Amino acid sequence: MNDYEAISDTVLLPHEAAELLQISEPELLAAAGRRAIPGVCLGGVWRFSRRRILSKQEIKAS
């Protein structure tokens, strides 16, 4: 794994993922619950892979 891959695969908390996607946190959590945004809920707190979110957005933009 190179430095770029390590940075781009950062684990984000909901407020960080919402900021990255420029949506509200409630919108993010609703989308995650519908599995429209990739994430995992651990101990009642959602976590998001920066890399997976960005690659999903690239697919949607195509």
pLDDT, tens digit, 9 for 90 and up, residues 2-57:
555 555 579 999 999 999 999 999 999 999 999 999 999 999 999 999 999 988 77
Query: According to the model, what pLDDT value does residue 60 have?
Result: 63
pLDDT for 62 beyond 80: no
25: tokens are 């946190």
pLDDT for 1 beyond 60: no
The burial class, CB within 10 Å (0-12 / 13-18 / 19+), for 52 is middle
pTM for the complete prediction? 0.77
Query: According to the model, what pLDDT value does residue 56 have?
Result: 78
